[in-house]
């Protein structure tokens, strides 16, 4: 079976890789995401649930895994996945409607059930229907019987009631009987991602204890880690002033439906039209700063009456540090630290007073330069913000591959 990769290259059933993929793997090797192609010939298969646009699949494909099934209920996200990895193994629809008989065997099952209920921004309601979808994830694991599975979620998930119920399923008679679980909250920046994004990673194994990957990067380099990647390393080469504010007017068909796309990465480098008041506010905020740098006359009433809390809003990134978490509304400066990092204290002409573009957000999420996108501006923003950083997924995949090949 062929699994299409972002550049239309393919891994075939023998595990061989064509020249286009070899060139891209060489680029990833320079960034530390892939060491080399040696030892990557054994075909390993993966199922991606709640796959979104395919950030986690991308990381696993980079490490030589072949996707054999993906499930995603959002049409635009499923179309983006299909554009990059193939439509044949993507199921667009409700995961509950996917029959047991159609679940293929796989070495690894990966996925992150929707996390809004666990998020600090969400309801934290255990009965929230979104928090029950992990049971569908367990159904796939029970049927596919992967050697290893990976659950990815927000950092609060590790302290939730659902997390404890998940552990309980490993007991006799449970859906995860025979699996041992290991989990921790991993910071994406510690794995070569230019983003301080904490995520709970849980690994289940029925081939013996499988540890989580060791950090490859740290704020200060050590004997075993390199220094954190920076915002500059991901977006410093991109034009400071986008030439357009719109996506191209193109359409593509997936799953018998027409959606906007396919868009090349540079199509996502579009700007916005902020109000004059917004531009004045942006101009006051230095790198690492935020709403507390605004003079009283530029403060909206809601912030003037709330002198504490929400420290990162209306924030400006720093060139020489990772970004903070890229959320789904990164195009709104009042939602986080999303202003472009270029700002010169002594030269107003050398200030870039805008939020990051969709392309810059995708780059900070480590999507490769040939990744294709489908959907509206808002739909693509949600895909980017909801994705697992590709570099973190690749680090997990590389670690699991070593464990699976040694087992």
Q: Is the peptide bond before 119 cis (omega within 30 degrees of 0)?
A: no
Q: Which helix (H) or strand (E) holds 252?
A: strand 251-254
Burial 63-88 (b: 16+ CB within 10 A, else e): bbbbbbbbbbbbbbbbbbbbbbbbee
Residue 39: burial class (beta carbons within 10 Å; 0-12, 13-18, 19+): exposed
- 242, two tokens: 């986008």
Q: 175 — alpha (psi -120 to 50), left (phi > 0) or beta? A: alpha
Decide: 103 and 95 in contact? Cβ < 8 Å. Answer: no
CA distance 366 to 402: 22
Strand order in the sheet with 251-254: 251-254, 257-263, 373-374
Residue spans of beta strands (DSSP E) within 102-244: 108-111, 148-154, 180-187, 195-196, 198-205, 217-218, 226-227
* Dihedral over Cα of 28, 13, 4, 187: its sign: negative
Chain centroid to CA 257: how far?
25
Decide: 118 and 131 in contact? Cβ < 8 Å. Answer: yes
Return the residue matching tokens 């002033």. 241
**Residue from 53, 115, 284, 374 carrying the catalytic annotation:** 115
Helices (H), 238-316: 276-283, 301-304
Q: Is 53 a catalytic residue?
A: no
Neighbours of 105 (CB within 10 A): 12
Decide: 339 and 228 in contact? Cβ < 8 Å. Answer: no
**362 in helix, strand or coil?**
helix
- 39, two tokens: 């030892």
Decide: 61 and 368 in contact? Cβ < 8 Å. Answer: no
User: Catalytic amino acids?
Assistant: 115
């Amino acid at each position: 079976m062929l699994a299409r990769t972002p550049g239309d290259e393919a891994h075939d059933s023998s595990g061989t890789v064509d020249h286009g993929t070899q060139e891209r793997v060489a680029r990833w090797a320079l960034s530390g995401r892939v060491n080399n192609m040696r030892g990557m010939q054994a075909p390993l298969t993966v199922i991606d649930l709640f796959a979104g646009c395919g950030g986690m699949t991308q990381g696993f494909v980079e490490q030589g895994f072949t996707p054999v099934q993906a499930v995603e209920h959002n049409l635009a996200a499923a179309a983006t996945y299909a554009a990059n990895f193939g439509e044949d193994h993507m199921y667009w629809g409700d995961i509950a409607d996917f029959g047991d008989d159609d679940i293929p065997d796989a070495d690894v099952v990966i996925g992150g059930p929707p996390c809004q209920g666990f998020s600090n921004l969400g309801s934290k309601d255990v009965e929230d229907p979104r928090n029950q979808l992990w049971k569908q994830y367990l159904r796939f694991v029970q049927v596919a019987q992967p050697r290893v599975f990976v659950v990815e979620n927000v950092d609060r998930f590790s302290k939730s009631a659902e997390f404890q119920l998940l552990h309980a399923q490993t007991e006799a008679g449970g859906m995860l009987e025979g699996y041992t679980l290991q989990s921790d909250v991993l910071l994406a920046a510690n794995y070569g991602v230019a983003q301080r994004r904490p995520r709970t990673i849980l690994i289940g194994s029925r081939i013996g204890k499988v540890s989580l990957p060791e950090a490859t990067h740290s704020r200060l380099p050590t004997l075993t880690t390199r220094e954190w990647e920076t915002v500059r390393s991901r977006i410093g080469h991109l034009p400071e002033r986008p030439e357009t504010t719109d996506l191209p007017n193109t359409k593509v068909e997936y799953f018998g439906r027409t959606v906007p796309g396919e868009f090349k990465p540079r199509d996502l480098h579009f700007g916005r039209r902020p109000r004059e008041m917004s531009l004045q506010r942006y101009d006051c905020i230095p790198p690492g700063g935020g709403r507390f740098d605004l003079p009283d006359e530029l403060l909206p009433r809601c912030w003037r009456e709330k002198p504490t809390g929400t420290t990162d809003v209306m924030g400006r990134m720093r060139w020489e540090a990772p970004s903070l978490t890229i959320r789904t509304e990164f195009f709104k400066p009042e939602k986080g630290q999303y202003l472009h990092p270029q700002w010169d204290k002594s030269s107003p002409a050398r200030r870039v007073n805008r939020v990051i573009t969709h392309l810059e957000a995708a780059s900070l999420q480590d999507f490769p330069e040939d990744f294709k996108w489908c959907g509206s501006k808002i739909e693509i923003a949600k895909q980017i913000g909801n994705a697992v950083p590709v570099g973190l997924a690749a680090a997990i995949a590389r670690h699991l591959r070593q464990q699976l090949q040694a087992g």
